[in-house]
């Protein structure tokens, strides 16, 4: 854990010579040795996961509780809508980066189509996604007031991977199913 904390502090320290990075505060001082170690668990987020993903997450939680972490149940409002807003934002931001146009040709055809669709995001949808994200950030700020230092644990993805059912074609060209990523 010390190595992870040290790595975080190193990576999170703003670069004073960078005009954007220098605007951010450095990480706060480390917590005392006797601070509460809290894991926030949002059960509805876990409920959409494949059993193998759920098993891995539960094993990680069990491991950390054996190290003295306590778990608290938290709620995240508009969970699915927030995930969609986040995905829309990331896709739109990546799609509008004109410096990556040459990199587009190195992507799989499915991802090329996905990024092309991202360039068609209506401004109103993008703004609504930002409102949703701001609402969720306000809720997260409330949760961290209630549980200072809490780590929120979620599955990174609901799936362990997609089945390769198309044989060599899938291996050569890849597979993409956005509905599987955003359950």
Backbone φ/ψ region at 78: left (φ over 0), alpha (ψ -120 to 50), beta: left
Model confidence at 100, pLDDT cuts 50, 70, 90, reads low
Structure tokens at 48: 């959409």
> What are the distances in angstroms from CA 102 to CA 20, 106, 109, 172, 180?
26, 8, 14, 20, 28
Q: What is the pLDDT of residue 12?
A: 83
DSSP letters spanning 23-38: GSPPPPPPPPTTS--E
Across 10-33, average pLDDT: 82
Q: What is the pLDDT of residue 146?
A: 95
Across 122-150, average pLDDT: 95
N-terminal to C-terminal alpha carbon distance within the chain = 32
Burial class of residue 89 in the structure, from the number of CB atoms within 10 Å of its CB (0-12 exposed, 13-18 middle, 19+ buried):
middle
Return the H-helix or E-strand segment holding 98.
none
pLDDT at 15 over 60: yes
Residues in CB range of 183: below 8 A, 6 or more apart: 48, 158
Nearest 5°: the CA angle 169, 182, 11 is 95
pLDDT at 28 over 90: no
Across 81-97, average pLDDT: 89
pLDDT digits over 33-83, tens only? 788 899 999 999 898 889 999 999 999 999 999 999 999 999 999 999 999
Beta-bridge mates of residue 70: 38
pLDDT digits over 46-60, tens only? 988 899 999 999 999
Across 96-116, average pLDDT: 73
Model confidence at 156, pLDDT cuts 50, 70, 90, reads confident
């Amino acid at each position: 854990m010390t190595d992870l904390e040290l790595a975080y502090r190193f990576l999170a320290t703003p670069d004073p010579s960078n005009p954007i990075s220098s605007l951010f505060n450095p990480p706060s001082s480390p917590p005392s040795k006797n601070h509460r170690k809290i894991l926030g668990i949002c059960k509805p987020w876990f409920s959409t996961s494949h059993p193998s993903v759920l098993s891995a997450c539960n094993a990680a939680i069990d491991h950390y509780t054996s190290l003295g972490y306590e778990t608290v149940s938290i709620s995240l409002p508009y969970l699915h809508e927030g995930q969609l807003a986040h995905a829309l934002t990331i896709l739109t931001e990546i799609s509008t980066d004109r410096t990556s146009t040459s990199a587009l040709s190195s992507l799989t055809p499915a991802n090329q189509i996905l990024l092309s669709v991202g360039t068609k995001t209506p401004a109103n949808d993008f703004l609504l996604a930002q409102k949703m994200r701001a609402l969720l950030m306000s809720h997260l700020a409330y949760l961290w007031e209630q549980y200072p230092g809490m780590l929120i644990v979620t599955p990174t993805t609901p799936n362990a991977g997609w089945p390769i059912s198309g044989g060599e074609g899938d291996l050569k060209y890849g597979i993409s199913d956005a509905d599987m990523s955003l359950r």
